[in-house]
Amino acid sequence: MSPPFPQLRALSFGSRLGLTSLCFVLLGGIAASLAHLYLHDHKRDERPGLTVDDVKGVYHGIRSKSPLLVALERGHPETLKTDDRDRLMKWLTGKDLSRTYDDIDLGDKSPQALIADNCLSCHKKSSTDPAARAVLLESDDDVLRQSISRDISPNSTAIVVASTHVHATTLAIVGFAVVMLAACTRFGRGLIGSLTALCGIGLAADIGGWWLTRHQEQFAYLIMAGGAAFTLGTVLLVLLILADLWLPRRSG
């Protein structure tokens, strides 16, 4: 790249060593952010792994009713006695489902017994009705998986304001620094320009997405794509900076 840009490779040994350390500190910080994201947010949706539902849980909240409760509320199956339906619905809307599921004190009125007596004839693998077979209630795990209703509150506005105030300012400054250093490398304007766009637009999409997702949960995908773009753009720019600091120049 032509003057007035200073050339990173032409800096003194001490400057290059210092900049190299800063690059590694930044890469370490990015790795820690990803670890934090995983450890802190991945259980939001009460299911393992970091998924889009975790992001929805943090920024939008999740409400989903247990499929069993939905079925019982719509009067399915017609053969179920009213007081047994009420018992099952009371269980499904209560706490600690797995513990109360096979409560021996309830005898043949425990949720486990009621489901075995009233549902299993249709909802088992050997059932002749393929639509009923699609909803297996044979093992305790089958039942419990379809029993959980989720009502996950999003982070409060105050927390998102605080998080925006910290992240928007610091990450933008990180972006400015990395982009300016990358502009002082030997690599082509096209490459640096594309990575700069990825980094900047990614960050705007990520943080903008936090606020949009509060209103519309589909924007959780924007947060994930934006965060990935910003992280990828930044890491690649840092790698180019490191390369330029230490690779020998082709011509004087």
Work out how close the CB of 183 gets to ligand HEC at its nearest, in angstroms, rounded to a whole number: 58
Distance of CA 234 to the CA centre of its chain: 20
CA dihedral 209, 210, 212, 216 (to 10 degrees): 110
- Report the candidate in 122, 144, 149 with the shortest Cα–Cα distance to residue 133: 122
Tell me if 71 contacts ligand HEC by CB under 6 A. yes
| Segment contacting ligand HEC by CB under 6 A, of 13-21, 27-35, 54-62, 119-127 | 119-127
Tell me if 200 contacts ligand HEC by CB under 6 A. no
Q: Is the peptide bond before 248 cis (omega within 30 degrees of 0)?
A: no
Nearer to ligand HEC, 33 or 112 (CB): 112
Nearer to ligand HEC, 43 or 85 (CB): 85
With beta carbons less than 8 A apart as the criterion, state whether 88 and 111 touch.
yes
Nearer to ligand HEC, 71 or 191 (CB): 71
Of 23, 62, 80, 178, the one binding ligand HEC (CB under 6 A) is: 80
Of 132, 172, 183, 204, the one binding ligand HEC (CB under 6 A) is: 132
Q: What are phi and psi of 116, to 5 degrees?
A: -60, -40
Tell me if 131 contacts ligand HEC by CB under 6 A. yes
Tell me if 119 contacts ligand HEC by CB under 6 A. yes
* Amino acid making up residue 65: K
Burial 147-180 (b: 16+ CB within 10 A, else e): bbebebebbeeeebeeeeeeebeebeebbeebbe
| Segment contacting ligand HEC by CB under 6 A, of 25-33, 117-125, 163-171, 179-187 | 117-125
| Binding residue count for ligand HEC, defined by CB under 6 A | 18
Distance, CA of 244 to CA of 146 (rounded, Å): 55
Tell me if 129 contacts ligand HEC by CB under 6 A. yes
Interface with ligand HEC by CB under 6 A: which residues?
67-68, 70-71, 76-77, 79-80, 115, 118-119, 121-123, 129, 131-132, 135
